[in-house]
Amino acid sequence: MTADDGAQARSAALTHQRLPDRSAAPLRPLGSRWAALVLAAMLVFAIAASALSVQRHREFRTYRNDLGNMVQAVDSTAHGRLLETTTADGRQMSRLGGHVDPILVLFALPWLVWPDPALLLVLQAIIVALAAWPTYRLGLRAFGDPAAAALCAAAVLLYPPIQAAVLDEFHPVTLAIPLLLGAFVALEEDRLRWAVPLLVLAAMCKEEIPLVIAVLGLYFALRKRRRWPLLITAAGAAWFLVAVGLVIPRFNTEGAVLLHRYAGGDAGLRPIVTGLLTHPWRAATSLLDPTGLRHLLEMLWPFGFSSLASPLTLLIALPEALVNLLSSKPQQHSTAYHYVAGEAPFVVAAMVLGLQRIGRRLLREGRRARLVRLYRLLAGAVVVIALVATLTVGPLAGERRGWGKLTSPAHREALAAAVAAVPAEASVSADRVASHLSARRYVYTFPYLDDAEYVAVDTRLPQSRPRSRALAELQTSGRYELAFSRDGVLVYRRVK
């Protein structure tokens, strides 16, 4: 054999080599046309989610709880009152007394430029759209193929739980989706300097997210067979205890709202922890009862159950799953709300790593080109399933309960006129239009009146006894006069 023949043989061997281990998979296709397609898909998602969220708000189908609360907290911070909000019983309190989500402070500066609830909705859509990028990076690492990685990124944007979270008004915890997923990929790539700030930001999204971060540290300690990820576990557990045991009681003498949803939670965090440690099977059975099984089914089937092929990765979502399923609040059992934000990132990561494992088991022997084609086929199948899920059970497939009934154009015009009739700095009590009037210091939820200078009421809403009593007081007490009335929408102005 000549030297040229030997060189050709070595070249052919390199051309047909098997796919290397993901730790050595190339990342140079980050600038390829597939990366450009992922960025384009992210842009489309952000624009569509922004438009739908803002439209729903303009149609007066958002509420004081929760968009209005976030608007007031951000507006207060922008004006020097750190996260101050008005509670349902009329108290002025830091939002940290309800939920520890100080990431809201970061929205104060852009709020000064665009002081409108639409700002929060648009920024949330943009931030959540970023979840596709770490998915793409993880796919490159797992498959060594940008096409299969891009398909996985597309599946994430089609995933109904993520779509539902981003369309569920505005919640800081929803921002944890791309942050946790980005931190997972950064740790997978041994990029600690990127992982740490992402984990810090994620921990600022809500008080239970540090529990997920603690399990994430355990995962990488096992996966990489190193001890340093246990520092992440310790930090996550410590911040959870500080947030729930010290921060919330410091700002709210009534204790953590989160704990009141669990058996024994009225007495604090200790009975819950004790119950979990002494009777772990009771917690585990919540995953196997009809509610738990339905929750798991709704989280897993839109990816064709591929996440189950990477069970250890999937287990990182366990703390958030238990927080949801053990709660007495029925909305937490559903995947149609923002409560899945701590679960979704790891269902996504498990999907990518699960596809890698499935591909290698199906094609133990073979050339790289065949394995790459298999990965593309598997990822394409997941995209198709995710698209079917979006069209059949996703938030675009039908109106979700709790989104509010769409009113007539004439009624929406009356509601908009009522909002315009309330001065910007006046204290107000409101019902349907409360999320539009929350950028002020004092915002009460009708029928609670306190000393509100203005009261905005939609009489077409279902009437309860407290609402009827409050309306009678407005009409007969002499403290208020009618300042606006159109199509059943009333605005009263205090005169005494």
β-strand partners of 490:
457, 485
Tell me if 301 sits within 8 A of 308, measured CB to CB: no
| Per-residue exposure over 240-259, b if at least 16 CB sit within 10 Å of its own CB, e if not | beebbeebbeeebeebbebb
What's the sign of the alpha-carbon dihedral 92, 94, 97, 100?
A: positive
Token pair for 17: 């080599």
**Model pLDDT, residue 262:** 73
**Model pLDDT, residue 21:** 43
CB atoms under 10 Å from CB of 381, counted, come to 16
Alpha helices in 59-169 (DSSP H): 69-78, 108-113, 117-129, 132-143, 146-157, 160-167
What are the residues whose beta carbons fall under 8 Å from the beta carbon of 253, sequence distance 6 or more?
Answer: none
Q: How far apart are CA 114 and CA 71, in angstroms?
A: 12
Token pair for 179: 């942050």
Token pair for 324: 């949801």
Token pair for 56: 């729903």
**Model pLDDT, residue 26:** 45
**Model pLDDT, residue 271:** 61
Using N-to-C axis directions, what is the helix angle for 344-362 and 368-392, rounded to 10°? 140
Q: How far apart are CA 294 and CA 285, in angstroms?
A: 13
**Model pLDDT, residue 16:** 37
One pLDDT digit (tens) per residue for the chain, 496 residues? 444 454 444 444 433 333 344 433 445 556 689 999 999 999 999 999 999 999 999 999 999 989 999 999 999 999 999 999 999 889 999 999 999 999 999 999 999 999 999 999 999 999 999 999 999 999 999 999 999 999 999 999 999 999 999 999 999 999 999 999 999 999 999 999 999 999 999 999 999 999 999 999 999 999 999 999 999 999 999 999 999 989 999 998 776 666 777 765 665 666 666 666 566 666 677 778 899 999 999 999 999 999 999 999 999 999 999 999 988 899 999 999 999 999 999 999 999 999 999 999 998 776 788 999 999 999 999 999 999 999 999 988 876 666 667 889 999 999 999 999 999 999 999 999 999 999 999 999 999 999 899 999 999 999 899 999 999 999 999 999 999 999 999 999 999 8
**Model pLDDT, residue 28:** 53
**Model pLDDT, residue 426:** 96
What's the sign of the alpha-carbon dihedral 424, 118, 449, 86?
A: negative
What are the residues whose beta carbons fall under 8 Å from the beta carbon of 196, sequence distance 6 or more?
Answer: none
Q: Tokens 């790891």, residue?
A: 346
Q: How far apart are CA 296 and CA 161, in angstroms?
A: 11
Q: How far is residue 289 from each of residues 286, 301, 304, 490, measured CA to CA in Å?
A: 5, 18, 22, 47
